[in-house]
Amino acid sequence: MALLALLTLIIGNLAALPQTNARRLLAYSSISQAGFILLGMVAWAASQQYDRDQGVAALLYYLVIYTLTNIGAFGALAAVWLATGGDEIADLRGLARRNLGLAALFAVCVLSLAGIPPLAGFFAKFYVFMVGWQAAPAGW
């Protein structure tokens, strides 16, 4: 299961790189986000009984943050699509001049999904990684 989580993280991110459509880019990013969810589930399953609460907390925190930022990013893209008729990355050019609030919302959501500090997505990913590290068997 840990290997599947790692492959999902790698493949999702590599598949997102060549995308020119912003919605498709976020969709491929969601594949890699599923890898973090799998990592949290592996950590929860591998934890000792007293550490399971940490695994559940990390997984739930990650799911809440991921859900909110994904809704924000896809919602902002929907608003751009309504205004421009497209959701290509090129359609985002000049968004800050047209609608600064929408541009700020989209930027914060995408940066949080990417795990950039000090945004909530960074702390969610860090928490999942730490729980996964602590749950790993000795000698790994």
Can you give the pLDDT of all 140 residues of the chain as single tens digits? 878 888 998 998 899 889 999 999 999 989 988 988 888 888 778 766 557 778 888 889 999 999 999 999 999 999 999 998 888 999 999 999 999 999 999 999 999 999 999 999 999 999 988 888 887 665 45
Q: Tell me whether residue 81 is in a domain.
A: yes
What pLDDT is stored for residue 129 in this prediction?
Answer: 87
What Cα–Cα distance (Å) separates residue 81 from each residue in 15, 20, 49, 53? 23, 14, 48, 42
Q: Tell me whether residue 108 is in a domain.
A: yes
**Residue span of the structural domain in which 62 resides:** 2-135
Q: Tell me whether residue 60 is in a domain.
A: yes
Q: Are 30 and 70 in contact (CB under 8 A)?
A: yes
What pLDDT is stored for residue 50 in this prediction?
Answer: 55
Q: Tell me whether residue 104 is in a domain.
A: yes
Note the residue count of the chain.
140
Measured distance CA(37)–CA(42) in Å, rounded: 9
What pLDDT is stored for residue 53 in this prediction?
Answer: 79
Q: Are 12 and 31 in contact (CB under 8 A)?
A: yes
Q: Tell me whether residue 140 is in a domain.
A: no
Among the listed residues 115, 139, 110, the one whose alpha carbon sits nearest the alpha carbon of residue 127: 115
Cis, bond preceding 118 (omega within 30 deg of 0): yes
Residues facing residue 32 across a β-bridge: none
The model's pTM is: 0.87
What pLDDT is stored for residue 138 in this prediction?
Answer: 55
Structural domains counted in the chain: 1
